[in-house]
A and B are shown apart, each in its own frame.
Chain A
Amino acid sequence: MGPHSSPRHLDKTTLGFFLVQVLTGLSSAASLFLVAAGLSLIFGVTRVVNFAHGSFYMLGAYFGLTLVALFGDWFGRGHLSFWSAILCAALVVGAIGALVEMTILRRIYRSPELFQLVATFGVILVIQDLALWGWGPEDKLGPRAPDLRGAVFILGQPLPRYDLVLIAAGPVVLGLLWLLLNRTRFGILVRAATIDREMVGALGVNQAWLFTGVFFLGSFLAGLGGALQLPKGGADLLMDFTVLAGAFVVVVVGGMGSITGAFLAAVLIGQLQAWGVLLLPQSTLVMMFLVMAVVLVVRPFGLLGRPELVGHGRQMLDDPLRPTSWRFKGLVLLLVLGLAAAPLYLGTYGLVLLIDILILALFATALHAIIGPGGLVSFGHAAFFGGGAYAAALLVKYAGTPMALNLVLAPPAAALLAIVIGWFCVRLSGVYFAMLTLAFAQIVWSVVFQWGEVTGGDDGILGLWRAPWVRGRIAYYYLVLGCCVAGILALRHGLSSPFGYALRAGRDSPLRAEAIGIDVRRQQWAAFTLSGAFAGLAGGLYAYSKGSVFPNEMAIVRSFDGIIMVFFGGVQHLSGPLAGAAALTWLKDSLLRLEMWRLLLGLAVIAIVILFPQGIAGFLKQRFGRFVGIRSELSS
């Protein structure tokens, strides 16, 4: 405010300022709403949470970029050319979504939830590399929309003109979607299938096409979201995860399956962002936590969501626990002895790999505890792995404490984080849980990434020197071996105790478990915390093994590493995570030399999910089941 402003003028500017703030919030809600609405629609009908939805959004932006330029060359740079380019970009993305549905998801609708999530995650990896290959690593500036440069003034306050388009886009798309869902046969079938898709099939509707149609629509919306925000945000290779976390928050707050709920939640989050940035830049994320907390406490299924949509997913195969046989114990002992002797027969490089494998195996075992016996697929365990690593690193940086103490403190620090995050997440189950854990991990990651003054941001924290007694590689190897074996055995022991049984009971039949006096939610919360603590230990060991920490340790990809290891190894066995860790490390080690390792890893993962829709363990059981006395019921 200038020195001349009279009180009345001041009122007017304040009002204008408020208005512009609200409008900015509304404009940033648009993309979020489009992505969340698509996610919600797809989930409603297919019951698959498409983790690749953020990637479709990113593709929308990139294709928009290309098509705007292309159409500009062909047809001039007028309105028609610009807007048809945006629309075409969305259509292309819709077609890609339909293709993904037909080639991948169609084969795994009956698979356990974990497999579906893994498969869509594979799609993310593939798209990341394809986008990198197609459009290069640099962030791209978006093209300006014709005649929408500059700003309009609202009560004397500037608002970018293009924001008006975005503000209108939300309600317009909401209205069009409403018409589509209520006034067309396709829409009525979609709504019916959201309620009871088997019945829709029994009435003669070919679900395959319905599902493909919904995937097209959902991906189209995501692509439109990405293309529409181009003039404002441009395109970059990180936007898939950024928007995914935001969309998950919106869907959870708005209520899964509700388009209107998604709109309300997107508006809410948009306002939070607009005002948060203004009041206190670092507070945006904290406020997001708070809003989610309030909503989830008051309405566990979101503003307009309904409980019946959230049911428990198809559970993983998990064999009943058997007391470990002497033979098995002998094998474990042999394995440990073999590992203990490793420095005798492995070179430096092999030892480094083995350290990685052991640490990852501990991480995977911790994650397995919540996925297998807990029945909850956490997609955010990197937060605790990275939490442990950063706890150790921050202690070094700010307190100068010795390594031993830092390693001891890393697990409780990660556990603390798990307590907070777990409090929210265990209120939900199934895919909701997976989405929320991913969203939280992404929030923690962005705090670390953005809060450079404290965490060093992208540059990470260097200088984690090991104590003199483990400075040598071999000595550190033994420390890691000791910690990991102890950690894995401790987890194993905990899960075959009454605590573990109660956890399984809660997974298999929550109502009955409650009836016999088990507080299922508390049990899961405790397991989540415990799991977080061990992941934190793995993170601490990892930090000291590398001597440095970077935000990557917390990124979604690290969470995915954990999921993949559990997935590779199966959820049955103690040896599963170890085998999974070895497989992943080996795969990455051989793929990383190649140019497009993400693409290859993604394709490998997708292929495994498709070839073994019941999991590798399930496949073996089916294949060789007759040797252990399982017969198909009909053949008897």
Chain B
Amino acid sequence: MKPLLELAGVSAAYLGAKILFDLDLSLADGEVVALVGRNGAGKSTLIKTVMGIQVRRSGSIRYDGQDIVRLPAHAIARLGVGYVPEERRVFGDLTILENLEVGRQPPRQGAPVWTTEALFEIFPNLEELRHRPAGQTSGGEQQMLAIARTLMGNPRLVLLDEPSEGLAPVIVEQMAAAVGKLKSQGLSVLLSEQNLRFAGVVADRAYVIESGHIRFSGSMQGLIENADVRRAHLSV
């Protein structure tokens, strides 16, 4: 089967500092793939590299058969790649509904179509807050909003950077359920995680990344069972 996203020999650098080295990665349609690694390993950088923001990148990044390495971020988003940043970056002054409006894009072939109502079903907390400025909501609510805002673009692939970071256990579970729902809708997800438990619940496959290199790739189950890799490249 042809992969939806395929990276080959990808390197990336911020102004002055090279962070990723010659990475290969692929993700099939409908798959949930986790990127795991310690702090500073390069997970977020890899996600930004796919999205084409902040980094200078080289190598080949193919999405749905098309090389996107020279495209600007907005064009990549227009192809159906959704990005949920680690820092969430909700628009603090805008209400929840307005935040969702910013993310809205026309329906796209081969991707589920989202409406605010459908999103409020997945994230019920947002519904009652819909007229509140996003800056005045909790961290968990902002995380939900960040995901919902991206879904408004009807993506086929969602890049989800550390969705569980800094959240209470209850919310983390809610997040896991939400990712499960996206998968059941046929969406593909590339998510970065430090929380192996979370990744274990939602992901099919995993890549372990350290110092900008891929150190392991295989099924999620395989990673959880491989104590050597976990000890060598992951914190716990």
Chain A interface (Cβ < 8 Å from any Cβ of B): 185, 188-189, 191-192, 195-196, 198-207, 633-634, 636
Residues in B whose Cβ lies below 8 Å from that of A201: 53, 72-74, 77
A188 touches B83 (CB 8 A): no
- Majority SS at the chain A contact face: helix
Residues in A whose Cβ lies below 8 Å from that of B153: 203-204
- B 66-80 binary contact with A (CB < 8 Å = 1; else 0): 000000111101100
Residues in B whose Cβ lies below 8 Å from that of A204: 74, 77-78, 103, 105, 153
B145 within 8 A of A: no
B150 within 8 A of A: yes
In the assembled complex, the CB of B143 is this many whole angstroms from the nearest CB of chain A, namely 15
10 smallest beta-carbon distances between A and B, as pairs = A204-B77, A201-B74, A199-B89, A192-B91, A192-B102, A633-B13, A202-B83, A201-B73, A195-B91, A202-B73
Residues in A whose Cβ lies below 8 Å from that of B101: 185, 188
B42 within 8 A of A: no
On whether A203 and B92 interact (CB within 8 A), knowing A192-B102, A634-B11, A634-B56, the answer reads: no
Contact of B74 among A191, A192, A202 (CB under 8 A): A202
| Chain B: CB-nearest residue to A200 | B102
B102 touches A207 (CB 8 A): no
In the assembled complex, the CB of B106 is this many whole angstroms from the nearest CB of chain A, namely 10
A636 to B13, CA, bound (A): 12
A188 to B94, CA, bound (A): 8
Specify which of A195, A200, A203, A207 lies most central, judged by the most chain B CB atoms within 10 Å of its CB. Answer: A203
- Majority SS at the chain B contact face: mixed
| Chain A: CB-nearest residue to B78 | A204
Residues in A whose Cβ lies below 8 Å from that of B94: 188, 191-192, 195
B169 within 8 A of A: no
Residues in A whose Cβ lies below 8 Å from that of B54: 198
| Chain B: CB-nearest residue to A199 | B89
B51 within 8 A of A: yes
On whether A198 and B105 interact (CB within 8 A), knowing A191-B91, A203-B77, A204-B77, the answer reads: no
Contact of A195 among B58, B92, B149 (CB under 8 A): B92
Chain B interface (Cβ < 8 Å from any Cβ of A): 11, 13, 16-18, 51, 53-54, 56, 58, 72-75, 77-78, 83, 85, 89, 91-94, 98-99, 101-105, 149-150, 153
Contact of B16 among A195, A196, A633 (CB under 8 A): A633
A188 to B104, CA, bound (A): 12
Residues in A whose Cβ lies below 8 Å from that of B53: 198, 201-202
B91 touches A196 (CB 8 A): yes
B51 touches A191 (CB 8 A): no
Residues in B whose Cβ lies below 8 Å from that of A185: 101, 104
In the assembled complex, the CB of A336 is this many whole angstroms from the nearest CB of chain B, namely 39
18 CB contacts below 8 A, A to B, read: A185-B101, A188-B101, A188-B102, A189-B102, A191-B94, A196-B89, A198-B73, A199-B89, A201-B72, A202-B83, A203-B74, A205-B74, A206-B75, A633-B16, A634-B11, A634-B18, A634-B58, A636-B18
Residues in B whose Cβ lies below 8 Å from that of A188: 94, 98, 101-102
A197 to B164, CA, bound (A): 25
A325 to B198, CA, bound (A): 61
A204 to B51, CA, bound (A): 11
A633 touches B51 (CB 8 A): no
Query: Could you list 13 further interchain pairs (A-B, Cβ under 8 angstroms) beyond the known A203-B83, A633-B17?
Result: A185-B104, A188-B102, A195-B92, A196-B91, A199-B91, A201-B73, A202-B85, A203-B149, A203-B150, A204-B74, A204-B78, A633-B18, A634-B58
In the assembled complex, the CB of A308 is this many whole angstroms from the nearest CB of chain B, namely 10
In the assembled complex, the CB of A301 is this many whole angstroms from the nearest CB of chain B, namely 15
Residues in B whose Cβ lies below 8 Å from that of A189: 102
Residues in B whose Cβ lies below 8 Å from that of A199: 85, 89, 91
